[in-house]
Amino acid sequence: MLREYIMLTRRKFLEKAGVVFLGAGASMLTAYGKPAIFANNGGKKKNVIWILADDLGYGDVGSYGCRDISTPNIDRLAQDGAMFTRSYAYPACTPTRAALLTGRYPEKAGITGVLMGKGGMDSSATTIAEVFKKSGYTTACIGKWHLGYAGDTLPNSQGFDFFYGHRGGKIDYFKHTDTAQKLKNDPNGKHDLYKNQTEIFEENKYSTNLFTNSALNFIKENSSKPFFMYLAYNAPHYSRHKELQAPGISHHQVGQSSTREVYAAMVECMDEGIGQIIKMLESAGLADDTIICFISDNGADPVHGGSNGLLREKKGTCWEGGIRTPLIIKWPGLSTNGTKINCPIGIYDLFPTFVKKLGLKYDIKNLDGVDISGIFKSDNVLARRNIYLRFASQGAVIDGKWKMMKDKDQRFLFDLENDFREQHDLANEHPAVLDKMYNSYLGWEKTLIKPLKKRSM
């Protein structure tokens, strides 16, 4: 008998369907830094867990308005912490991961696109794991890496004491093979599951559960010392040959179920794993000493079951549906739980924020991200600045309510406070704003020509 979360009947699914969208114009508890205060932790080092979902859309989480997928544990993080409604990632896997882990624009870390079986991040880029490790933390990367396939581009050479997961961008959830890593006469591709540098075989075990179990073991083994765990689920990204795979659902059953139903089962399995992690932290007495950050690496692709709510377009684009993603931070000591923050931030801001707020040993002044911890203080607001993103032929710059979007030779201008769906192009009505933002974007692009070099720690 399948577990309860595995299968929604088509009738129940249709009854539950429909997303209530939390748009930029909606009523928010917090915008640009209204009360939510970080408490002093008395000097004790807090553990840090970053949980990264893969291709999870803005409309796929209950706390962001989803009504047809059950995510009680992610929602609980939002209830106990802060939920960001305008958090921006890159439109695809690899660039976001590079920006998240280095605090830099991905181009400066040697990443200009999605890795497909070869290449890797510039090993001279300092990762947040290296900073945590230098500051006395035990570090782990569990799940999807997608920043390199060999040598000094692998997690153990990038500051992680422990690695359990896959090197590439996607794997079969049961066979753990990657079609992007080609093998002659084998359409399934190379086997891709490792513990540190050693290839391991766990065939027929669902990868989401494997990663959850590895995370639980890591917490158990390191409960007496400060740790940083980067848990990058591959769910709900499609697997080999662009198939969706959920635990307990056979290929025959997948054919009988809608794409959204299978996608929902994948998300709910991940959410259940997050619940197990929360429960372990509580039972071990670590909940009040552990910061949990939940993120998605880019928008969803509706073709593969995901939803971006009412946002325009999807993964792989610089429209809001490709770059605006869920971000939830549960930081024990916040005076107001369930806070919603409408201030736009970039994925590269998390690195300097955690370094600054935790007092880690690293100079953040030359990073591209900024410390956003001011938005959690009653007397400070985050200084207004531009957020830049680009991917393939598209690019965007966000300045407060304004967004300039370019697609090849076309330029668009949107007022996101009043038009988060990007339905009304204001380029002709505000040409001066458009030109100013476009020139700023061109100036930013020039800074990406030469990658920054690693600084001494």
Please confirm, yes or no, whether 343 is among the known catalytic residues.
no
Q: Average of pLDDT values for 160-187?
A: 94
Indicate the pairing of strand 138-144 with strand 47-53.
unpaired
CB atoms within 10 A of CB 206: 18
Choosing from 66, 141, 146, 304, the catalytic residue is 146
Mean pLDDT for the stretch of residues 220-244: 93
Tell me what pLDDT residue 381 has.
Answer: 67
* Under 8 Å between Cβ of 441 and 395: yes
Of the listed ranges 80-84, 164-168, 440-444, the least confidently predicted one is 80-84
Give per-residue pLDDT as tens, 385-421. Answer: 999 999 999 999 999 999 999 999 999 999 999 999 9
Residue 329 · residue 82 · CB < 8 Å: yes
Tokens 């959850």 label which residue? 212
Q: Which domains does the chain have, with CATH numbers?
A: 19-385 (3.40.720.10), 390-446 (3.30.1120.10)
| 424 tagged catalytic | no
Confidence of residue 374 (pLDDT cuts 50, 70, 90): confident
Alpha-carbon span 397 to 447, nearest angstrom: 15
Give which of 190, 236, 237, 230 is closest to 214, Cα–Cα: 230
Using a 10 angstrom Cβ sphere, with 0-12 exposed, 13-18 middle and 19 or more buried, the burial of residue 331 is buried
What local confidence, expressed as pLDDT, does residue 253 receive?
A: 66
Is the predicted pLDDT of residue 352 greater than 60, yes or no? yes
Summarize the confidence of residues 292-307 as an average pLDDT: 97
* Bridge partners of residue 232, in order along the sequence: 52, 143
* Residue 333: predicted pLDDT: 81
Q: How confident is the model at residue 283 (pLDDT cuts 50, 70, 90)?
A: very high
pLDDT(376) > 60 = yes
Q: What pLDDT, on a 0 to 100 scale, did the predictor assign at position 339?
A: 87
- At 105-130, the pLDDT tens digits run 999 999 999 999 999 999 999 999 99
Q: Which two tokens stand for residue 19?
A: 């997303």
Q: Which two tokens stand for residue 234?
A: 């591959």
Mean pLDDT of 257-284: 96
Average predicted confidence (pLDDT) for the chain: 88
The better pLDDT of the pair 152, 254 is held by 152
Distance CA 431, CA 19 (A): 35
Across the range 130-141, mean pLDDT stands at: 98
Residues 160, 141: Cα–Cα separation, whole Å: 6
**What residues have CB less than 8 Å from 2, skipping those under 6 apart?**
248, 249
pLDDT computed for residue 337 by the predictor: 80
Cα separation, 162 vs 190, whole angstroms: 22
Token couple for 55: 């291709």
In the predicted model, what is the mean pLDDT of residues 373-386? 72
pLDDT confidence band for 248 (50 / 70 / 90): confident
Q: What pLDDT does residue 251 have?
A: 61
Least confident of 206-220, 244-258, 261-275, 315-329: 244-258
* Terminal CA-CA length for the chain: 54
Percent over 70 (pLDDT), the chain: 85
What is the three-state SS of the chain? CCCCCCCCCHHHHHHHCCCCCCCCCCCCCECCCCCCCCCCCCCCCCEEEEEEECCCCCCCCHHHCCCCCCCHHHHHHHHHCEEEEEEECCCCHHHHHHHHHHCCCHHHHCCCCCCCCCCECCCCCCCHHHHHHHCCCEEEEEEECCCECCHHHCHHHCCCCEEEEECCCCCCCCCCEECCCCECCECCCEECCEECCEECCCCCCCHHHHHHHHHHHHHHHCCCCCEEEEEECCCCCCCHHHCCCCCCCCHHHHHHCCHHHHHHHHHHHHHHHHHHHHHHHHHCCCHHHEEEEEEECCCCCHHHCCCCCCCCCCCCCCCHHHHEEEEEEECCCCCCCCEEECCCEEHHHHHHHHHHHHCCCCCCCCCCCCCCHHHHCCCCCCCCCCEEEEECCEEEEEECCEEEEEECCEEEEEECCCCCCCCCCCCCCCHHHHHHHHHHHHHHHHCCCCCCCCCCC
Angle among Cα 180, 351, 375 to the nearest 5 degrees reads 130
**3-54: per-residue pLDDT in tens?**
333 333 333 333 333 343 444 333 333 333 333 333 334 467 999 999 999 9
- Taking only the tens place, the pLDDT of each residue in 179-213 is 999 998 888 899 999 999 999 999 899 999 999 99
Q: What is the pLDDT of residue 252?
A: 54
Pick the catalytic residue from 66, 93, 141, 318: 93
